[in-house]
Every structure is written in C-alpha cells, then in structure tokens.
Structure 1
Amino acid sequence: MLVAVGIGPGDPELLTVKAVRLIQEADQVFVPGKVAKEIISPYRKDPVVLSFPMTDDQEYIKRCIEENADKIAPVAKNGLAVFCILGDPNFYGTFGRLCSVLDEKYPEIEYETVPGVSSITALASAAGIYINGGIEISDGSETDCRILLKVRKPRQKAEELKKEGYSNFILAERMYMSGQRIYRNDSLPEESAYFSVLFAGK
C-alpha cells in the first residue's frame, strides 16, 4: 500500500495527527527533497530522498518519476510506503504523475492520499486574510475545474455548469465526518447537506 501524505506548508507542527501516525508507522517513508525531509524530521529520521527535478524537460522528469516508482514499488507491494508531499498531495503535487506510472508498471499497487494544509489556506492564515466570497485559483494555465462550497442543490448547479462546458461532477457530502457520501455525475442528488463540496471538471 502507498499513502501520499500532505505535510503542510513548512512548519512541522502543521502536520495532521493522521499524517504523523502514518509517517511513524510506515515501513519506509519517501520524501521529494531535503525540505520535506527537514519538515518530517521530528517524526522520522530515515526517509529516502527521491529526486523530482524542477525543470521544463518533460522527458527527464518522466525518467525520474519512473525511477522513483521503481524505488517505492517493492515497499508498497509488501508493506506500507508513505510518500510525503509539501502542502496537499492532490493540489499541484507530483503524486498524480507518480500514480500514472504506477498504474502502468505496477497496477497491483493500491494507493490513497491523506490531505494536508495547502498553500492556499496557509496563505490566508499567514497574511491575515479572511476569505468569505468567491475566489479563483490558478497555476497560470487555463482553468479546467471549479470547486463550489455549500452546494445545497447540486443537480441544478451541475446543469447550469454544463452550459459553461463542464461535464464531470463529483459531490462530497460531509467528507471525513460521520455519514460521508461521494456522488458522481448522474448520481448527484437534488439536495445535499450544508457540508457539501461540488467539483466540476471540463
């Protein structure tokens, strides 16, 4: 089993309790560089540092990711491998590309993610910003997804978004709470709880 754990924006005390537990229980921990190694150092002293180069050379990046997958695979096949990622593993991280390689070379390996404090929420705290209205977040590329909070009529909202070119919808209701439900596309309910988040992708 491979678990990607978000380790937050830099402060070791901003790791979640679950992240710390998994890091301590893992058969082997992997980190994508010295910064991540330093962040988890209060909880684990023996991580394997992997190379994820900051470059535009896509062939070189792909080669490095394949090499990293080969290092992780033996541990993930036989025990618990934990891969620590700055911020949150599902927000602009390297884990998605690693999973693509694993799916191709090691389809028997199961993986999941544990959320961490992302740079988005960390910025609001560090800068003393209170966000209560709509926001737009981008890495500079064309926007191909939207996330809407507190969606009480998800099916109606999905129909509205289809007119803007969105076609893939996922509703998370009461996520990480008792009664969590995940709905996709045609299964979206007419109404949902206050604690609901709707993902819309093109």
Structure 2
Amino acid sequence: MKGRLFGVGVGPGDPELMTYKAVRIIKECQVLAVPARGRKHAVSYRIAAEMIENMEEKEFLDLDTPMTKDRQILDRNYENAAGRIIEELEKGKDVAYLTLGDPTIYSTYMYIHRIVKAKGYETTIISGIPSFCAAAARLDDSLVDRAEELHIIPSSYGIEAALNYSGTKILMKSASRISEVKRTLEEKDGNVNVKMIENCGMPEERIYERIEDVPEQAGYYSLLIVKESEKER
C-alpha cells in the first residue's frame, strides 16, 4: 500500500494556534518534510516541535527551495522535491510537509502537491490559520467590516495598481522590498492607515502602528495591513 502526502499548515508562529488535526497528522506520519536545509532552519518544524514530543525521532526530508523567481530553477526544484517524497510514498510511508500559515496561500508546498497528485498519489491539505488573520487578532481589530473588500497582495511583485483597490489590502512578502513599499504608502499622504507585524506570534514579534515607524529593513515574515482612512470610507 502506498503512502499519503499531507500538506500541513502549522499556523503563523504561535504553537498554540496549531489545529488539533495538524497535531494529529504530524504525530501519525512516519516522515516529515520541510522547505528548508535541516530541522534547525525550518521555522514550521520548530513551531510544531513546541506542541509535539519526540519529533526528532521521525524520518526527515529537507527540501530546501532556492530564493529566486526563475521559473525553470523553481520547477526543477519542485520536481526533485516531489521525487524525494514519492520515494517515501512508494515505501508505504505517510509524509507530512510542514508549512507556515495555510498551505493554500502563497505556499511552496502547493507546487509539489500538484506534481505528486498528478502522478496518482493520495494527497490531503490540512488548513492552518493564515498569518493575516492572526495579525488582525494581534492588532485587536477586524480585517473588513460590512461590504468592505479584502485583497491579498504579494508585494514582492509590486503594489502600485493594487493600492487603488477599495477596502483592505494585505501586503504579504514585503521584506525584500520594504523600503520601496514604505515610500509608495507614504505617498498616499494620509489616505490610508497602515500597520505592520513582523514575525507574528513568534518570540521576535514586532508591531508597527504607523507607516513612518516601519523600518527600512524587515524580517522575511512581515506583512502590512493597509486600510482606507476613515474619511475615505
């Protein structure tokens, strides 16, 4: 009998935000996989290890993904990662691929998931709390009210046009371009309210309540919540 692949969302950073189902699946799987080079470099692994004992005893796949936008390099990486997972599935072992937040939102896992699924193996996605939902909770406010729209934007690809959308904008993956993002938002001249959370739910968490407080350099796990000012609503 062939094994199954589970894409497990471990939530945004606080181990207590992991779901019961995520914990159960990780406990039951014989093999763990992460998009990093080794356990100590995998944030998702460290989060899960806070809730699950003896994870170090499980077999481990370090499926490091290069930081590039080159599709050919990425596609080769996804194929190689899928191949290593399939080797374990062929042995009848279940594999849990651990990913931050939810696997369906800008996750490396989904590219691997599709390859494994297309080859006829059983795949299951285990939802996790998305980072922007956790960030809104930490800010003690809603993301949207009544008929307001919500837009999730990968800001590493540019945000100028997206900022013209009505409602709330979530700017994800901002770290590599944080200075540019900050300048663009400052040009809105008071027409938006901006807050940023860095490392939400982690020990290194930082909250910035105003755009002028946002640093010129930010950690990889940073997101901004951009709302229209009250006068614009």
TM-score w.r.t. the length of structure 2 is 0.55
Where 1:3 maps in the other structure, the secondary structure is: strand
Match of residue 25 from structure 1:
28
Could you tell me the percent identity over the aligned residues?
30
Where 1:136 maps in the other structure, the secondary structure is: strand
Identify the match of residue 12 of structure 1 among 11, 15, 29.
Answer: 15
In structure 2, give the amino acid aligned to 1:66. Answer: E
In structure 1, give the amino acid aligned to 2:87. Answer: P
Where 2:152 maps in the other structure, the secondary structure is: coil
Identify the match of residue 54 of structure 1 among 48, 67, 72.
Answer: 67
Q: Unpaired runs of 5+ in structure 2? A: 37-41, 163-233
1: CA distance, partners of 2:130 / 2:108: 14
Q: How does 1:92-107 map to 2 (within 5 A)?
A: 92-104=106-118, 107=119
1:137 aligns with 2:149: no
Where 2:138 maps in the other structure, the secondary structure is: helix
For the aligned residue pairs, the C-alpha RMSD in angstroms reads 2.0
TM-score w.r.t. the length of structure 1 is 0.63
Q: Unpaired runs of 5+ in structure 1? A: 144-202
Match of residue 39 from structure 1:
47
1: CA distance, partners of 2:23 / 2:83: 25
Match of residue 105 from structure 2:
91
Match of residue 124 from structure 2:
112
1:73 aligns with 2:76: no
2: CA distance, partners of 1:76 / 1:120: 33
Deviations 1:137-188 (A, max 9, x none): 2225698xxxxxxxxxxxxxxxxxxxxxxxxxxxxxxxxxxxxxxxxxxxxx
Aligned residues: 141
Match of residue 229 from structure 2:
none
